[in-house]
Amino acid sequence: MNIQEFQKLFFNLYGNPQKTPRLFFAPGRVNLIGEHTDYNGGFVLPCALQYGTYLLIRKRPDNLVRFATTNFDYKIEYDISKGYVKQQGQWINYPLGIFDQFDKLKIGLSGFDMLFSGDIPNSAGLSSSASIEMVTAFALASMLNVTSLEMTDLVNLSKRSENEFIGLDCGIMDMFAVGMGSADHAIFLNCLTLEFKRIPFILNGYKLIIANTNKKRGLADSKYNERVQECKEAIDAIRPHIPVNHLGEIGFMQFFKIQELIEDERVRRRARHVISENQRVLNAVSCLHKNDLLQFGALMNASHESLRDNYEVTGIELDTLVEEAWKINGVIGSRMTGAGFGGCTVSIVRDNVVEKFIHQAGDNYRQKTGLTASFYIAEVSDGTREIITESV
């Protein structure tokens, strides 16, 4: 759908074509390496995608917020003077949670007409929820002229909304990448201090390919919170002996000296993943500085193995897709990306084997799992922004 058609839908829904809405966009993200490290105060290396969520928004003179999306048949009117109450299992909770956060900051809200449209593959683990949250947060701050909130404040606000309103104990990676992404750059983020650097990520002769397992991720949220809990158990076992509050503060070599402090073998493996993954991110960043893509790919492969064996968040679908990718000459790295339990893999594939990769890995995956994977060529793009149009 182009912008004109999108605007037409807005006016069909909300009328009054003389009053122009503004258009905002927030991307999805893919994480290159550094998985399940963010809520442990560790390092991550995500980048923003060309796919994302568009939002047309216009102020109303009353307290009604009218939400709609072009993605499925859904329209709702919400009276904000009644407060913000989570709706059962509904998409609206993502934007509503952001209104709730603005309200908590005592920012005077008004009514709006809002029409969303997303092109991020559904339930793929490419942060469609963070994208909806960030586009809403950025649009509200812009529409209400709240100049005191910078992009990083909106990132933090979106994370609070996800933790408090949605109820997922997620870390900050998704919102950060969605907000702060930059074309042709990966974001090297320290999730403890929020210091970050944009690292050039240019794949001469290679493509970054995202492959969706198309497996329904039913248990993802509960398993995710379970892993967060296990990491807390690891820290509880270590803290009486060493003054640390996050697994991310523990060095890779140090861990091998102290790992026996964690008695529970399963919990020890969870910590081993987080701490080794943290080191892999540091190594991956120096690979990018040295332009050593082959070694970068090897680190991606090692990341997958650790997520499979130590963290146990992969499953047959992700493992099959990654193993099929590893078999192909010219695929220099492949791993699951995001929370796991389904969702997507990310691979670095030489230009001249992209077609082969899609067919061979796709066919073998279908044969082994009965599911059909979808493939996307990722373009590393800019973060959340307003799109200025000539005529709306």
Please list the active-site residues.
174
CB 247 within 8 A of CB 259: no
- Give 114 or 173: the residue with its C-beta nearer to ligand GLA: 173
Work out which of 14, 32, 33, 36 binds ligand GLA, going by CB under 6 A. Answer: 36
**Would you call 387 helix, strand, or coil by DSSP?**
strand
Contact call for residue 249 and ligand GLA (CB under 6 A): no
CA distance 264 to 233: 9
Contact call for residue 170 and ligand GLA (CB under 6 A): yes
- Give 21 or 340: the residue with its C-beta nearer to ligand GLA: 340
Which of these ranges, 113-121, 168-176, 244-252, 284-292, lies near ligand GLA under the rule CB under 6 A?
168-176
Work out which of 21, 42, 338, 342 binds ligand GLA, going by CB under 6 A. Answer: 338
CB 210 within 8 A of CB 378: yes
Contact call for residue 35 and ligand GLA (CB under 6 A): yes
Beta strands in 185-272 (DSSP E): 185-190, 196-200, 206-212
Contact call for residue 133 and ligand GLA (CB under 6 A): no
- Give 68 or 322: the residue with its C-beta nearer to ligand GLA: 322
Tokens of 176: 């950060």
Contact call for residue 41 and ligand GLA (CB under 6 A): no
Residue 66, beta-bridge partner list? 77, 113
Q: How far is the CB of 168 from ligand GLA (least distance, A)?
A: 7
What end-to-end distance do the CA atoms of the chain give, in Å? 15
- Give 21 or 181: the residue with its C-beta nearer to ligand GLA: 181
Work out which of 23, 143, 157, 173 binds ligand GLA, going by CB under 6 A. Answer: 173
Residue 37: closest CA among 258, 261, 306, 256: 306
CA distance 85 to 266: 38
- DSSP letter string over 30-64? EEEE--S-GGGT-EEEEEEEEEEEEEEEEEESSSE
Which of these ranges, 34-42, 48-56, 143-151, 252-260, lies near ligand GLA under the rule CB under 6 A?
34-42
Residues making up the chain, counted from first to last: 392
CA distance 66 to 76: 6
# of chain residues touching ligand GLA (CB under 6 A): 10
Sites of contact with ligand GLA (CB under 6 A): 35-36, 38-39, 170-171, 173-174, 338-339
